[in-house]
Amino acid sequence: MRVLVVADIHGNRAALEAVREPFDLCLCVGDIVDYGPEPAWCVDWVRQNATHCVRGNHDHGASQNVDIHGVGGFRYLTSVTRPLTVAALSTDQRRYLAELPTSRMFTLDGKRFLMVHATPRDPMDEYASANTAFWAPRLARLKVDCVLVGHTHVPYTLRVGSTLVVNPGSVGVSRDGNPRAAYAIIDGGEVRLKRTEYSIEDTVAATEAKVRDETARLMLADIFRTGGMPTRWLHNGTATNGNGAH
């Protein structure tokens, strides 16, 4: 069985459309919305294509219309784009996001999978890098072969004892210095982390048409083009890190 794993789409239609891998099953590890200019289309794509999907922190925030007050970084971008996301989604789409589970366990090809947006300990918010010491206590009591996570926007695989942790990276808002859309393919027990080019300028143009805040427009354009937060935003204090809006 060929499985497509996507995460952190963040309303980036052009990036998601560029993921053209054939698949028998699609899994979405959350954060379909916020930041990007076309959240409604992305929600519909996931509803139509993903067999299993879990709720990310941005999905939760948009479904509940949670206000974010931030002065810098991605928290600031959430504060600007969250009202636009809520306005773009129908009541039915927001209900879909609200009803997504925060974790999902299932079996594929005889292997036991757990899917959460962040970590099993804190499914929507805990930031987990590829660190064995960090992951070991969070997996100690779990009898699973594979844990699928997102949230960091940085792709990795990590073997921790008998469990494989897979983060496919972000389809829509990369943060590892590579602006291409990231995803994973699981095929016959083999996991491949993959990237694909997409029309970044289409996303930038759509963002510029919908985001009125000039600073946010410039920040988002830089992030889409570079695959991370450029140093010019770090220098003026705009990119201070904000918890809860990764």
Long-range contacts of 61-65 (CB under 8 A, 24+ apart): 61/34, 62/33, 62/34, 62/86, 62/89, 62/94, 62/97, 63/94, 63/95, 63/97, 63/98, 64/98
Angle between helix 200-210 and helix 214-226 axes, rounded to 10 deg:
170
214 Cβ contact list (under 8 Å, min separation 6): none
Q: What are phi and psi of 166, to 5 degrees?
A: -125, 120
For residue 88, list its beta bridge partners. none
How far is 122 from 107, CA to CA, in rounded Å? 22
Structural domain boundaries of the chain? Answer: 2-103+167-235
How far is 114 from 95, CA to CA, in rounded Å? 23
Question: Which amino acid is present at 71?
Answer: V
- pLDDT at position 244 is 44
**pTM for the model:** 0.94
Question: Which amino acid is present at 137?
Answer: P
Instruction: Report the greatest alpha carbon distance in the chain.
Output: 52
Q: Tens-digit pLDDT profile for the chain (246 aa)?
A: 999 999 999 999 999 999 999 999 999 999 999 999 999 999 999 999 999 999 999 999 999 999 887 677 899 999 999 999 999 999 999 999 999 999 999 999 999 999 999 999 999 999 999 999 999 999 998 999 999 999 999 999 999 999 999 999 999 999 999 999 999 999 988 999 999 999 999 999 999 999 999 999 999 999 999 999 877 766 544 544 433 456
The architecture (CATH level 2) of 2-103+167-235 comes to 4-Layer Sandwich (3.60)
Q: What are phi and psi of 226, to 5 degrees?
A: -110, -15
- pLDDT at position 232 is 73
In this structure, the number of other CB atoms found within 10 A of the CB of residue 50 comes to 18
Kindly state the DSSP code that residue 153 receives in the 8-state scheme: S
| Spatial CA neighbour of 174 closest among 129, 135, 206, 222 | 222
In the chain, which ranges are continuous DSSP H helix? Answer: 13-17, 39-49, 57-63, 73-88, 91-99, 132-139, 200-210, 214-226, 231-235
Kindly state the DSSP code that residue 63 receives in the 8-state scheme: H
How far is 221 from 204, CA to CA, in rounded Å? 5
- Does an H or E element contain 163, and which? strand 163-167
- pLDDT at position 72 is 78
How far is 63 from 175, CA to CA, in rounded Å? 24
